[in-house]
Chain A
Amino acid sequence: QKEVEQNSGPLSVPEGAIASLNCTYSDRGSQSFFWYRQYSGKSPELIMSIYSNGDKEDGRFTAQLNKASQYVSLLIRDSQPSDSATYLCAVKGTGRRALTFGSGTRLQVQP
């Protein structure tokens, strides 16, 4: 079992729709969770961080965390073609400082 798992996609949604990206993790003691966006050929860019159970909203983005289910998700409302990218889920494991990344979900927003 991978430490951080994501569906590789591609996830295709029409412009204006809600995109839902999911991630599960294996280390139950993890406390910090991050979503990064990576455009092709570019480096990862932080979108959201979340540390407590529940929802955290920032503009069109909402991160959701459920530690009991070891599940974190990212919702993108009113998806735009410019949101088309690979979304990386990253987790700080127990006692670790480095991030463990999932393999990413490729999102395609169709105009």
Chain B
Amino acid sequence: GAGVSQSPSNKVTEKGKDVELRCDPISGHTALYWYRQSLGQGLEFLIYFQGNSAPDKSGLPSDRFSAERTGGSVSTLTIQRTQQEDSAVYLCASSLDGKEADTQYFGPGTRLTVL
């Protein structure tokens, strides 16, 4: 079946602009995660959605970052007033139900470059 998809694959923007990144999880997966990976760094957790529960926003680095998940499926990560330090690969992952032994599957990522 289809895996996690993300769009756009690449995004170049100017400092101060807002950007929206989209994630379409694997069909039937109720849990969705956003991570980011800066050059040469490990993956950093941003936000987690599970079904209709309130999202875990504990990883968002500032209030310029927000995310929503509509209808329990597609998610959009929004970065307002982008800064150069926001440049990174933004990875979305989904899993079946978010439980302890659940496996997360990653999408191809969106490479964001802030000039």
Q: A42-B108, A44-B106, A45-B106 are in contact. Are A101 and B42 (CB under 8 A)?
A: yes
- Write the nearest CB–CB distance from B45 to chain A, whole angstroms: 4
Question: Is the C-beta of B43 less than 8 angstroms from some C-beta in chain A?
Answer: yes
Which chain A positions have C-beta within 8 A of B100?
A: 31-32, 51, 92
Residue from the list B31, B45, B106, B107 in contact with A100, Cβ < 8 A: B45
A43 to B102, CA, bound (A): 18
Q: A31-B100, A97-B50 are in contact. Are A46 and B56 (CB under 8 A)?
A: no
Do the beta carbons of B101 and A44 come within 8 Å of each other? no
Which chain B positions have C-beta within 8 A of A19?
A: none
Do the beta carbons of B105 and A46 come within 8 Å of each other? yes
Interface size class of A (residues with CB under 8 A): 20 to 34
Do the beta carbons of B48 and A97 come within 8 Å of each other? yes
Do the beta carbons of A49 and B108 come within 8 Å of each other? no
Q: A97-B31, A97-B98 are in contact. Are A34 and B103 (CB under 8 A)?
A: yes
Do the beta carbons of B42 and A103 come within 8 Å of each other? yes
A interface SS class: strand
- Write the nearest CB–CB distance from A40 to chain B, whole angstroms: 12
Known: A31-B100, A104-B42. 19 other contacts (CB 8 A): A4-B42, A42-B108, A43-B108, A44-B91, A46-B103, A46-B105, A49-B101, A51-B101, A97-B48, A97-B98, A97-B102, A98-B35, A98-B48, A99-B33, A99-B43, A99-B45, A101-B35, A101-B43, A103-B42
Can you list 22 residue pairs at the A/B interface with Cβ under 8 Å?
Answer: A31-B100, A32-B100, A32-B101, A34-B103, A34-B104, A45-B106, A46-B104, A46-B105, A49-B101, A88-B42, A97-B33, A97-B50, A97-B98, A98-B35, A98-B48, A98-B59, A99-B43, A99-B104, A101-B35, A102-B42, A103-B41, A104-B42
